Structure 1
Amino acid sequence: MTSRIAAPAHLRVESIHVAYPTGPVVHEIVHGLSFSLDRGDIACLLGPSGCGKTTVLRAIAGFEPVTAGRIELGGREISRKGHTAPPETRQVGVVFQDYALFPHLTVAGNVGFGLRRLDASARRARVAELLDLVGLGAQAEKYPHELSGGQQQRIALARALAPRPDLLLLDEPFSNLDVDLRERLALEVRDILKELGTTAVLVTHDQHEAFAIADQIGVMHEGLIMQWDNAYNLYHRPADRFVADFIGQGVFTPGTVDLQNQRVRIELGSLPLWRGVDVCATDERDARVVDVLLRADDVIHDDASPMRAEVVRKAFRGAEFLYTLKLPSGQTLLALVPSHHDHAIGEKIGIRLGADHVVTFPVNTAAYANPNP
């Protein structure tokens, strides 16, 4: 029986550093960042403003040199210290935040702009194919100012895809759209990219966009990827406190670990630990104080529960309320409750734990208790 050899990664970013001179001082933005991406996969660099995610995208595109490390695309080295292949030779498409459409060209003219090497017949056929793919075949002769923001975004996507790039980069492409349209368009873009088998990297600060479009997500902080994972693990198994705080909504509540019974006790009750919890591995005592991450969906509204909590804040979300609740100890937590349960500020409601596991952190540290189920 012969073993299968895994195909090499289509995009490989290895320990890159990127720095900008600021007067006499060189300011390093990215510090030894690494990730890889298989052909046809969609990745997202997710993080707050100033974390370095757009700088990484610009380095992949060839707009910024790396001061250390290397970048490979399709097995070809495109960046290393002292060598930056020109952007036009990389076969990389870019969708910019402001779309960068040419106002004097029609929709068809914009999409066909990068196809000047094709003859007129082949160019028309490719433009028509892409416009149909993005659902704008009937808009070919219109101009960008005649289109909505969502339509302009689709035209920018079609233009970037027209030359069949080896890699597509999307720099905050939905940031100019309203909140409802962002997630819907992200799902549409994912469908288009998957249909074409296009490898892509998205940059965003919006986790809902990231969850909607990406196969793998790298959460960035201060020039580093803190965790490279799928959306489920980022939410339920965050690698450190930064990821836990940045992804989803939750609070840290004090807990006591019972190693003998492999449980953690908090004010709301007791929950089992995952096997091999690292926070406990070096401590042979029967108990240890930890911080327990509780998400808003870990707390269930239950009128029959003896545990009561006071409503101190509420935010209407349509189908749900996000309640901020105060326990008898004064500890606060969050709960998502169906919106037909409309409770007043100051009212006490019954709650219970709805989690089947917990993520724990040593108190006042960023160490992670790896679940390893």
Structure 2
Amino acid sequence: MNTPYFSPEVSEVPEVPEVHLRVQSIRVGYPLGRSIQEIVHGLSFSLGRGEIGCLLGPSGCGKTTVLRAIAGFESVLDGSISLGGRELSNPTRTDAPETRHVGVVFQDYALFPHLSVWENIAFGLRKLSASERKTRVDRLLGIVGLATHARQYPHELSGGQQQRVALARALAPQPDLLLLDEPFSNLDVDLRERLALEVRDILKELGTTAVLVTHDQHEAFAIADQIGVMHQGVIVQWDNAYNLYHRPGDRFVADFIGQGVFAPGTVDLPRQQVHIELGSLPLWQGIDVCGTGDKEQERVDVLLRADDVIHDDASSLQAEVVRKAFRGAEFLYTLKLPSGQALLALVPSHHDHAIGEKIGIRLGADHVVTFPAEPEAS
């Protein structure tokens, strides 16, 4: 069993918004010879009106296939997709994409090169009067910060500006749902997170329900209210960013989200402690203990994040620096304990230690998740 045990906590029950998008037990696949290769296996999630959801996972996990099914580009083998109470897809019927009132921002933006920024945004508004069309396009240009670029063409814009045009064009028809397929993947790393925050602000200002697909957890954390971590065609945990990081539901989520290592430990129930090489943690300090709980001493793997390990020159516990990555305000050090156990540590960048140097460290964790120890290799 790879699922941690979470002790119950008393907390306020948040107000749940009315369900707007419901994806219920869908299976999606593609023809492969005379058979069907199933990509998505019984996947479910829902979003309230105005919520932003994200499907997060590695390449090949099926997240874009789910997005295509919601858009109407793919049929479902089983299950259903509903939007605003109207069923869009089931095994016997798939409403056409143009009838779903769903907007899509594609990975490559798909802007019309021969149309100006203003004309690109206005493209889907031909049924409106000239005055209504001008009012809506001008408002969106202001919201996305491109009012002074209205007469320019896509090739005259930066990647970030093109992304904003694509967003404004998708929002112009006031869709019931917006889908974003890896919308920041063509941008440099520094720009991605900033634009993700800007996109979130725009969607929240307009009250637009949206689903983002990405492999980048920083984008997901910046933009989404709820995140579904996908693995092999299913959502293994649907949660907010804080819980995915601090309360991962299984080893895959723990390993995929954030940066950390699994350190061997022992649960000592009589003393209410978990013992690891760095020291002992009392169970009452927010530690989540896995397993059946019926053994006085149980081997576990303790998830240690990089921010759980503190650089402390006064500590008697020494670790060797084996790798370092400069990140401006901090270094990410890969450390080796006397046993050979590897750790990660985030250290302020004025502590510039050489590879091979030994530094003092201590355990600074106040919330640790443990999993049943994996069998030792024979």
Corresponding residue for residue 185 of structure 1: 195
Matched residue, 2:12: none
- Equivalent residue, structure 2, for 1:134: 144
Which of 155, 179, 185 is the equivalent residue of 1:169? Answer: 179
1:200 corresponds, among 210, 225, 232, to: 210
Q: Which residue of 2 aligns with 1:117?
A: 127
Q: Deviations over 1:46-103 (max 9, x none)?
A: 0000000000000000000000000110000000001101111111000000000000
| Alignment root-mean-square deviation, CA | 1.4
Runs of 4+ deviating beyond 4 Å: 274-278
Task: With a CA cutoff of 8 Å and minimum separation of 6, indicate the structure with the bigger relative contact order.
Answer: 2
Deviation sequence 1:3-54 (CA, Å, 0-9, x none):
xx96641000000000101122310000000000000010100000000000
Within the candidate set 21, 25, 28, 1:15 is matched to 25
Counterpart in 2 of 1:370? Answer: none
1:279 to 280, 285, 290: 290
Partner of 1:369: none
**Corresponding residue for 2:233?**
223
Does residue 44 (structure 1) correspond to residue 54 (structure 2)? The answer is yes
Write the distance in 2 (CA, Å) between the matches of 1:193 and 1:318: 31
Pair 1:76 & 2:86 matched: yes
Q: C-alpha distance in 2, partners of 1:41/1:59?
A: 19
Amino acid at match of 2:20: H
Tell me the equivalent position of 2:267: 257
TM-score by length of 1: 0.94
Matched, 1:327 2:340: no
Unpaired runs of at least 5, structure 1:
366-373
Q: Given that residues 305 and 352 in structure 1 are in contact (C-alpha distance below 8 angstroms), is that contact kept between their aligned partners in structure 2?
A: yes
Q: Which residue of 1 aligns with 2:117?
A: 107
Name 1:302's counterpart in structure 2: 312
1:269 corresponds to? 279
- Higher mean C-alpha deviation, range 213-222 or range 268-277: 268-277
Equivalent position amino acid for 1:22 in 2:
L
Distance in 2 of aligned mates of 1:6 and 1:305: 47
Q: CA distance change for structure 1 residues 43 and 316 in 2, over 3 Å: closer, same or farther?
A: same
After superposition, the Cα gap between the structure-2 partners of 1:6 and 1:357, relative to the gap in structure 1 and judged at 3 Å, is: closer
CA contact (8 A) 1:268 1:307 kept: yes
1:314 aligns with 2:347: no
1:89 counterpart residue number: 99
Give the number of equivalent residue pairs.
Answer: 360
SS at match of 2:301: strand
Separation (CA, whole Å) in 2 of partners of 1:106 and 1:66: 37
C-alpha displacement at 1:363, in angstroms? 1.3
Structure 2: gaps of 5 or more residues: 1-14
- Distance in 2, matches of 1:355 and 1:79, equals 46
Partner of 2:70, secondary structure, is: helix
Q: 1:60 aligns with which of 70, 85, 89?
A: 70
1:329-348 correspondence to structure 2 within 5 Å = 329-348=339-358
Question: Please, what TM-score do these two structures have when normalized by structure 2?
Answer: 0.93
CA distance in 1, matches of 2:270, 2:170: 58
Quick one: percent identity of the two aligned structures?
78
1:150 counterpart letter in structure 2: G
Note the C-alpha offset of 1:283. 4.1
Is the CA contact (8 Å cut-off) linking 1:69 and 1:81 kept in structure 2? yes
